[in-house]
């Protein structure tokens, strides 16, 4: 990994918007816990900021109210819970308190170090009475010890000596962020937990509380280490913990306080309180240097598998690294969790998991860290029974229908036209399993966790669709484009269903060599006749095509609708879903995001080059990109179609979306799926990488202004580094056995290093 791995804001802005922005941009997470970046000393009350911290998969439930309730509507949804706030530390210099809003901030910067896995705030500050201090505050969510969050607080008195004290808080009184004007966040003020206990334990405090409806418990423990001679007073009152630590400062000598906070929940631990107490002991049994070393080692291995370097555009290079760092911070590390569109950086989408995980994020992990993809597939396997219940609820006699929005596996979407009707999520789950197999050839894991999911979801296509005039049709579904709902034969859905059914047949045959497969077939009553129906439906799948335009219509009725000139829509009316009634949007040829274009990316062999080009140009004119998922896909397809200028422009906006807050809602949490898309754009777009049954292939191009780029991919037992320069493409087998690869349509055996002249025309 290059040294360009630290993102810094300097100086800090202290307006409400900026502090909200920093909360998301500089949050700390490790896939289990996530802590938004709130200033330890606090902010003025009128800023109305809500310190927020989360556990992946830890939730409460809320009633979904329908004025007109019909059968099968979602009656209860899950929502991620804001857990105890352990960020508070007030610093007193004698009778003065440090605050960025008092005295004079002489210097300030906030950084995230993606090689070390920490955020660092550095401040030089002068009090109203003239005392000057330097602060360095390092925060870490540990990858080595997942329940652990630390604040390493260093104070250097520059021009004075005297008493210094720290007041550290352990606050259970927290609530979830809400915004009644945005359907992507909670619409009401929510405090979702009730206290069970709060105690002083040895050298810290322990708080346990429970969710109000889901009856899940969580315990948090806080303890401190203040180096040097000091006094400490610990108290617990009204279910709030507090520690007051006093010491004497000497001019020029650094005072160091380390705050340890751990979180353990009852989903994962039988005795979450006892486990939290053990986790605190574990953390304090080693030095912070040890914990930092383990953090750095974890990330070193991560970056060895997935680092992307762009030569010639340092700003873009840093943006991509920031995005890849957020992916490892966000992704769940066990079967109880997955990865939310906002990761663990905010309340956006209420912590729900979507199809984004399978289509934008999992492809990244599958070819860089396949063990994480296994964990994500295991989560879907764990929730399969709920997917079967969901299918039955909406009238299906067989099969499984994975939910549009969920935490535990239950459908949480209250608006079915743009939610539950998105049957393509079944195809996304299947696609992730197929991709995992293609990258690893790990049939044993597919047998263990993937097969049952693959066949139960494939069954649903047969029950959803029907044969008509020799074609297999899928009616009344919603594709990825949520501005076009409840349609017949959405191209993306039909194409993905075809691919899903074809692979269900292939894997049925491949898994037949395993004795344990007989048990799976018996368990789900899977027959040869059903497999033949899969094959027949796939072969007869209807894929809409318009001969006059030479494109794939998004669905049967899409081209019948009137057009809406995007250029004439006032900028303040975007995103459209917040300003226009759904029916008004649905009646127009206008797209929120890539739909058919996405299908052409992932399933390019189903259409000719000309059809994909015509479709791209057609949909480009009518797509608003109101979804963060859109521009990465347009960039990939522009690269695929040799539209280098467009590919670069779309990529630049996608890669920097959060760092520049291009959609104006990063405060709700960063856009994790888009971040996965930035990797896919470089690897699948510019480098032309493809992962198919016949093997892997590349067709690299070099965007204008770049001197070169390099990345790694994992394939089967090997890791391959790809480096693209103005003159050549270099493929290096970094580890593993030799591999056959295809470059610019020619086959090669990669045994060590392979150098190929770059083909500018692809």
Query: Is 110 in contact with 9 (CB distance < 8 Å)?
Result: yes
**Residue 251, Cα to own-chain centre: how many angstroms?**
45
d(CA 385, CA 453): 10
pLDDT, tens digit, for every residue of 443-461?
999 999 999 999 999 999 9
Question: Which segments of 567-673 are extended strands (E)?
Answer: 588-589
The SS3 call for residue 228 is coil
Q: Would you state the pLDDT for residue 194?
A: 87
Peptide bond into 11 cis (omega under 30): yes
Q: Would you state the pLDDT for residue 241?
A: 87
pLDDT, tens digit, for every residue of 83-136?
989 999 999 999 999 999 999 999 999 999 999 999 999 999 999 999 999 999
| b/e burial code for range 74-108 (CB count within 10 A of at least 16 → b) | beebbbbbbbbbbbbbbbebeeebbbbeebebeeb
Q: Would you state the pLDDT for residue 185?
A: 55
d(CA 653, CA 223): 43
Query: Is 186 in contact with 178 (CB distance < 8 Å)?
Result: yes
CA distances from 150 to 77, 102, 112, 291, 298 (A): 32, 26, 15, 10, 17
Query: Is 730 in contact with 685 (CB distance < 8 Å)?
Result: no
Query: Catalytic one among 411, 482, 502, 712?
Result: 482
Overall pTM > 0.75: yes
Low-confidence ranges of the chain (pLDDT < 70): 1-3, 173, 176-189, 761-762
Domains and CATH numbers, the chain: 6-300 (2.70.98.40)
Q: Would you state the pLDDT for residue 203?
A: 82
Joined together, the tokens standing for residue 259 give 């705050």
d(CA 282, CA 265): 17
d(CA 88, CA 185): 25
Check residue 477 and report its DSSP letter.
B
80: nearest Cα among 218, 220, 206, 272: 218
Q: Would you state the pLDDT for residue 761?
A: 67
CB atoms within 10 A of CB 308: 21
Q: Would you state the pLDDT for residue 67?
A: 86
Q: Which residue stretches of 262-398 are H helix?
A: 272-284, 288-306, 314-330, 356, 362-366, 370-382, 384-393
Q: Would you state the pLDDT for residue 156?
A: 98
Question: 609 catalytic, yes or no?
Answer: no
Q: Would you state the pLDDT for residue 696?
A: 98
d(CA 751, CA 733): 7
Any residues with CB less than 8 A from the CB of 485 and at least 6 apart, and which?
Answer: 417, 418, 421, 478, 582, 586
């Amino acid at each position: 990994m290059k040294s360009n791995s630290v993102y810094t804001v300097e100086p800090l802005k202290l307006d409400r918007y900026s502090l909200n922005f920093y909360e998301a941009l500089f949050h700390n997470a490790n896939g289990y816990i996530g802590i938004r970046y709130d200033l330890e000393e606090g902010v003025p009350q009128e800023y109305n900021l809500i310190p927020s911290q989360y556990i992946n998969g830890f939730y409460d439930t809320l009633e979904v109210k329908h004025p007109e309730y019909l059968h099968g509507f979602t009656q209860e949804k899950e929502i991620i819970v804001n857990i105890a706030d352990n960020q508070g530390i007030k610093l007193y210099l004698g009778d003065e308190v440090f605050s960025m809003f008092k005295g004079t901030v002489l210097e300030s910067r906030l950084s995230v170090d993606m090689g070390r896995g920490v955020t660092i705030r550095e401040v030089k500050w002068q009090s109203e009475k003239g005392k000057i201090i330097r602060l360095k505050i390092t925060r870490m969510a540990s990858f080595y010890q997942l329940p652990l969050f630390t604040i390493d607080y260093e104070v250097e008195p520059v021009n004075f000596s005297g008493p210094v004290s720290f007041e550290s808080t352990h606050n259970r009184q927290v609530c979830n962020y809400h915004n009644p004007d945005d359907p992507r966040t909670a619409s009401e003020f929510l405090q979702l937990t009730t206290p069970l206990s709060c105690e002083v334990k040895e050298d810290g405090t322990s708080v346990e509380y429970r969710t109000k409806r889901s009856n899940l418990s969580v315990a948090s423990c806080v303890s401190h280490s203040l180096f040097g001679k000091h006094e400490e007073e610990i108290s617990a009152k009204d279910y709030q913990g507090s520690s007051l630590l006093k010491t004497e400062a000497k001019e020029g000598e650094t005072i160091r306080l380390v705050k340890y906070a751990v979180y353990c929940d009852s989903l994962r631990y039988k005795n979450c309180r006892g486990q939290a107490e053990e986790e605190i002991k574990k953390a304090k049994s080693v030095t912070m240097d040890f914990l930092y070393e383990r953090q750095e080692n974890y990330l070193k291995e991560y970056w060895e598998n997935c680092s992307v370097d762009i030569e010639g555009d340092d700003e873009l290079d840093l943006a991509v690294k920031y995005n890849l760092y957020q992916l490892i911070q966000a992704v769940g590390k066990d079967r109880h969790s997955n990865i939310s569109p906002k990761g663990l950086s905010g309340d956006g989408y209420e912590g729900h998991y979507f199809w984004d995980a399978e289509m934008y994020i999992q492809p990244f992990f599958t070819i860089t860290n396949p063990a994480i993809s296994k964990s994500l597939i295991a989560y879907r396997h764990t929730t399969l029974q709920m997917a079967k219940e969901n299918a039955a609820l909406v009238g299906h006699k067989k099969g499984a229908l994975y939910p549009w929005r969920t935490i535990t596996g239950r459908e949480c979407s209250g608006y079915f036209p743009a939610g539950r009707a998105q049957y393509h999520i079944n195809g996304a789950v299947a696609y992730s399993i197929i991709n995992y197999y293609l990258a690893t050839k790990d049939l044993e894991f597919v047998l263990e966790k993937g097969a049952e999911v693959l066949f139960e979801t494939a069954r649903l296509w047969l029950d959803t669709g029907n044969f008509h005039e020799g074609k297999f049709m899928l009616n009344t579904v919603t594709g990825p484009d949520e501005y076009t709902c409840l349609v017949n034969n959405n191209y993306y859905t039909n194409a993905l269903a075809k691919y899903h059914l074809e692979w269900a047949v292939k894997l049925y045959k491949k898994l037949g060599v395993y004795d344990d497969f007989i048990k799976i077939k018996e368990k789900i009553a899977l027959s040869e006749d059903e497999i033949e129906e899969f094959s027949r439906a796939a072969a007869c799948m209807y894929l809409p095509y318009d001969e006059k335009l030479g494109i794939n219509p998004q669905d049967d009725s899409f081209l019948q609708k009137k057009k809406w000139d995007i250029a004439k829509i006032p900028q303040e009316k975007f995103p459209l879903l917040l300003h226009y009634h759904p029916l008004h949007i649905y009646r127009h040829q206008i797209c929120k995001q890539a739909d058919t274009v996405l299908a052409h990316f992932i399933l390019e062999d189903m259409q000719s080059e000309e059809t994909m080009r015509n479709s791209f140009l057609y949909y480009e004119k009518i797509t608003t990109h109101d979804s963060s998922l859109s521009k990465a896909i347009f960039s990939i397809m522009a690269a695929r179609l040799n539209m280098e200028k467009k590919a670069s422009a779309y990529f630049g906006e996608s890669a920097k979306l959060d760092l520049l807050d291009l959609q104006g809602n990063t405060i709700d949490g960063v856009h994790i799926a888009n971040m996965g898309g930035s990797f896919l754009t470089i690897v699948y777009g510019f480098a032309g990488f493809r992962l198919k049954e016949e093997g892997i292939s590349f067709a690299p191009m070099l965007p204008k202004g770049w001197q070169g780029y390099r990345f790694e991919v994992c394939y089967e037992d090997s890791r391959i580094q790809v480096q693209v320069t103005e003159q050549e493409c270099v493929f290096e087998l970094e580890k593993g056995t030799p591999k056959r690869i295809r470059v610019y349509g020619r086959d090669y055996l990669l045994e060590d290093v392979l150098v190929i002249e770059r083909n500018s025309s692809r």
